[in-house]
Structure 1
Amino acid sequence: MHYYEKIQTFAQLVRNNTKIAAFTGAGISTDSGIPDLAGMSFILGEEKDFSGGIFGMLNSTFAKKNPKLFYLLYRKTFFHPNAEPNACHLFLSDLEKQKKLLGIATMNIDFLHQKAGSKSVHEYWGNMRMNHCSLCNKSFDWDIAQQNDIPLCDLCGHVILPDFVLRNLGTYQDNIRDGSNILSKADLMIIAGTKNSWRNFPESTPKVIVNLELPEINESNSLFIQENIAKVFTDVKKVLIHTPIV
């Protein structure tokens, strides 16, 4: 099936289903200027003062002992508070407003789904707006990391860190439960920006799987679209509103 046939099929699936759920990964935010994990690994590999990789950087012990280096790396990789939603985020938000989307389960921490206007968002690792003092646990929003090279608590003077770092990438089980619940109720799943997560869901549930790096795999009930993610959702929206695709 050629690309434009896939876009037409995707659009028809959206028209025909009223209980859609989305599962999103890092690949959906690259068009918003946020690198995916491969991009972040490359950035970290260029840093001569650091050799720990992504998981080493996101270790709470490292961040507490090396707050200046941690925040230097964090701002080059994960922390992009001025990033704006792209066509994928906006498309899913529009589906929710049309009462066709049950919700979004996401592995992303960038808060772009909420910026796009989505309300039912289940973040498995939380988001960048969740920060706490590493000693007294006082809560801070992400503006503290924008205003200070090394954000320090105004109560006790210790370094403030993102929650997903303090938790050593521990997931939020309530969010996973709620996300899994909406995914289990879907009559159509949209899976975008992740290479292999689609394998974790029942084959019986129809899926549209969108990712630039994705092997063509023949699976019943699944439509694979290997293309730039923002382009795909831009083109599907054009079909849904009967605008010619250029």
Structure 2
Amino acid sequence: MPINNQPADSQLATVGQLIQHATHAVAFTGAGISTDSGIPDLAGIAAILNADKTFHGDVFHLLDPSFATRDPATFYRLYRQTFFHPDARPNAAHHFLAQLATTGHLAGVVTMNIDYLHQLAGSQNVAEYWGDLRQNHCIHCQQAYDWDTIAQQPIPHCHTCGQLVLPDFVQRNLATYPAAIQKGHQLLAQADLVLIIGTQRNVTSFPKNVPKIVVNSDQPRIGDKQTIYIQTKAASFFEKLALYL
């Protein structure tokens, strides 16, 4: 299968056939799948941080647990503009993947996102490399808090000990969850089709000799002969693909 970068609409038939013949397809998703749900990707987050006149740092500075603990007011003000969007809802791409699972064509989703939109769309077998927004704990007593607490308090503090509450992925200093990584590797190792959506991750990091469909609005990277590139927004493409199937 040659690398294919034709207009998205012209590839609906090819992609549809690959999906219909798959018995263990796996989706690997990044920030680009959620931009149509109103959540910025890394470029959008960088633009927000660069435009802020009181913050002088990048996304890694913002998410540094020492910074969040030292200046929780600035952390939470910018966290709400960048990562924390509890009112966001799944778009057509999330719903398409959930529907694929119900028809037996999609074995699971591996995601680098923390927005929980795959589960809200109905996907059940999801490997979240960095966890999700629902996971927050007190930095002192480790009392757990859902995202409702974060949404209701400008600077959330523990009801038990009064100390600061921070998202787990920040407290872990962006460390991934080993169990989620293992689950993701197992899913991908058994895949007969990989849907790579909304991420610039190099296709060479995925199983060889397995068809890969890359849906991303950014410029395609060089891949292998098993790769189809579709340069477009994920939500619009999968909305059309759902009608085609």
- Give CA deviations for 1:61-83 in whole Å, capped at 9, x if unaligned: 00011111100000000000000
Paired amino acid for 1:6: Q
Q: How far 1:8 sits from its partner (Å)? A: 1.2
Amino acid at match of 1:32: S
Is the Cα contact below 8 Å between 1:207 and 1:221 reproduced in 2? yes
Which digits, 9 at most, give the CA deviation of each residue in 1:31-67, with x for residues without a partner? 0000000000000011111112100000100001111
Unaligned runs of 5+ in 2: 1-5
**C-alpha contact 1:208 1:225 (8 A) present in aligned 2:** yes
Cα distance in 1 for partners of 2:188, 2:223 equals 22
Q: Deviations over 1:208-242 (max 9, x none)?
A: 110000326463111110011111101111110xx
Residues 239 and 59 (structure 1), Cα distance of their counterparts in 2 relative to 1, 3 Å cut: same
In 1, the alpha carbon distance for the partners of 2:145 and 2:9 equals 46
Q: 2:161 aligns with which of 156, 161, 181?
A: 156
Q: Distance in 2 between matches of 1:202 and 1:230?
A: 25
CA distance in 2, matches of 1:60, 1:218: 36
Matched residue, 1:244: none
- Structure 1 counterpart of 2:12, from 3, 7, 16: 7
Q: Once structures 1 and 2 are overlaid, which stretch shifts more, 220-229 or 22-31? A: 220-229
Query: Is contact 1:217-1:224 (8 Å) kept?
Result: no
Structure 1 residue runs without a partner (length 5+):
241-246
* Residue 7 of structure 1, CA deviation: 1.5
Runs ≥4 residues deviating over 6 A: none
Q: What residue number does 1:238 align with?
A: 243
User: Which amino acid letter does the alignment assign opposite residue 171 of structure 1?
Assistant: T
Match of 1:171 in 2: 176
Distance in 2 between residues matched to 1:223 and 1:24, nearest whole Å: 16
Higher RCO (CA < 8 A, seq sep 6+): 2
Provide the rounded CA distance (Å) in 1 between the counterparts of 2:167 and 2:235.
28
Partner of 1:189: 194
Q: 1:23 aligns with which of 2, 25, 28?
A: 28
2:51 counterpart of 1:32: no
1:53-64 aligned at under 5 Å gives the runs: 53-64=58-69
* Structure 2 equivalent of residue 138 of structure 1: 143
Does the 8 Å contact 1:23/1:192 carry over to 2? yes
What percentage of aligned pairs have identical amino acids? 47
Give the 5 Å matches for 1:21-170. 21-170=26-175
SS at match of 1:208: strand
Instruction: Provide, for residues 113-141 of structure 1, a one-character-per-residue CA deviation record: whole Å limited to 9, x for no partner.
Output: 00001000000000000000011111000
SS of match in other structure, 2:161: coil
TM-score normalised over the length of structure 1: 0.95
